[in-house]
Amino acid sequence: MNAIPIKDISETSAPTRFVGGSDRASKHPGVERILSRLGPWLPWVHVVMFLVFLAVLVVPVYLPESAEQATFLDDGRVLANYLLWGVWFPLVFFSVVITGRSWCGFLCPMGAASELANRHGLKMQTPAWVRWPGTPILSFIIITLLGQTTGVRDHPEATLEIFGGTFVMAVIVGWLWGRNKRVWCRHLCPIGLLLGVFARLGAVQLCPRKWKSGPDELTDKTICPTYIDLPRKRATRHCIECLRCILPGHTAGLAVSFRRPGQELESIRHHAPDGWEILFIFLGAGVALGGFLWLVLPFYSDWRQVAGTWFIEQGQYWIGKPGPAWLMSVHPERREVFRWLDFFMIAGTMVAVMALSALVLSVACLASAGLARLQGGTASLFQAFVQIGYSQAPVALMALMIGLATELFTPFLRLGMTAVQVSNAKAAMIFLGWVWSVWLAWRILQGLGVGRGRWLALLPSAAGSSAMAAAWWMAVL
């Protein structure tokens, strides 16, 4: 209905619970009591976050232009940019490895505003195109492309457009569709799928107290705002940790459980593996990579010159004119004006890198899946391909963290770190992601039943991880 179904390796095996799950009383009742008491305070937290959101997005637009040597210590615009790209993005990415999608349930003002609008909205049935599993992938790709062409990391007007526009869309979606649910968070949020996939690496999970067998599918008959069938929950992707299902002293609801980071992906065969998530990992990491590669590719300027000359020779002079400011960066006062040629070249490069990235990773994982079957693996070729595909998540996470959190290392430079030391730190993070990806592939292959030939089956997947790590190293270092 909402995902490519992937069955467990053994159709006759006993139902498999969450990692760390239990049908007995919770092992962490104190933690659950604290979390349940936080619930009534969350609306106030959302109000505060909304005010911070407004301050960071709206105020910089009306501040005077920043001087070239301005820093976040003495300039409001630079400070807002640093809070967004040097504090918010890194914290969100770091937190997802520890606590899953806690940002979505605890702090995100967009999801809260969407749900508030839903209480007073039309409550219409969610259209099929919204529920289509490819919709969040397209949402991420479109926002990533638009963010790059408008200069979202450099210009406050673009930041307000992207994040403010997303906020407005969240409210509209909440007002139109769903009944006491977060259609936006489940189906349309541009970073919801991103955080959901990486939440599978998280150390904190909420698991059913009384687990029921059956598929983990979308359902309206639940208190969960993201449509999770709580007794059959098998994956952390859609859980935004809103705390409504934490009911200390009751046998219903979910219990807090802790696990080793990445443990869910190590045993992904038991946790609703989804081919759409693999497609997103391959495409999402690629389109984000393209947003950085066009800045450093030595032959990009040559391609741009050839394309521009061809259009001029055809009499298509519009290609050299600036486009609308909502679609591309048009800031002559900051010496940056994109023309239609730049728009199509940047977007085209990002899409090309995305396609190439998806192709390389698909071939690598498909080769590993084929070798796994030859070496005794018990899953089908497609099942093995999907499960091995999850091994690319850690290296993608580290690369995206470094790429999107552009201001992360700014304070360290001011504290005396050299540019070389910062580059070394970034390289170390990418290397850590690569090692984790290779380890995950090893564990997934073990779960697929691959024995003595596991090293051979590991090689293509490791080569794919290496290619991604190398490409990001070139893009950001």
pTM: 0.92
CA-CA distance, 176 to 114, in Å (whole number)?
10
pLDDT band at 2 (very low <50, low <70, confident <90, very high): very low
Q: Is the pLDDT of residue 15 over 80?
A: no
CA-CA distance, 100 to 97, in Å (whole number)?
6
Average pLDDT in the 42-47 region?
Answer: 94
Write down the pLDDT at residue 1: 40
Please give the structure tokens belonging to residue 360. Answer: 């390389």
Average pLDDT in the 322-334 region?
Answer: 95
pLDDT one-digit tens code per residue, 63-92: 999 988 888 888 999 999 999 998 898 899
DSSP-derived secondary structure for 168-188 = HHHHHHHHHB-SSS-HIIIII
Q: How far is CA 231 from CA 42, 211, 216, 218, in A?
A: 25, 5, 9, 12
Q: What average pLDDT is seen over the chain?
A: 90
Write down the pLDDT at residue 57: 95
Write down the pLDDT at residue 12: 33
Of 29 and 177, the one with more pLDDT:
177
Whether residue 280 contacts residue 390, with contact meaning beta carbons closer than 8 Å, is answered with no
Of 98-107, 198-207, 209-218, which range is least confident?
A: 209-218
Residues 6+ apart with CB under 8 A from 321: 339, 340
Q: Is the pLDDT of residue 10 over 60?
A: no
Of 5-9, 95-99, 185-189, which range is least confident?
A: 5-9
Nearest to 253 by CA among 44, 97, 35, 42: 35
Q: Is the pLDDT of residue 146 over 60?
A: yes
Write down the pLDDT at residue 409: 81
Q: Is the pLDDT of residue 183 over 50?
A: yes
Of 184-198, 241-255, 357-371, which range is least confident?
A: 241-255
Q: Is the pLDDT of residue 25 over 80?
A: no
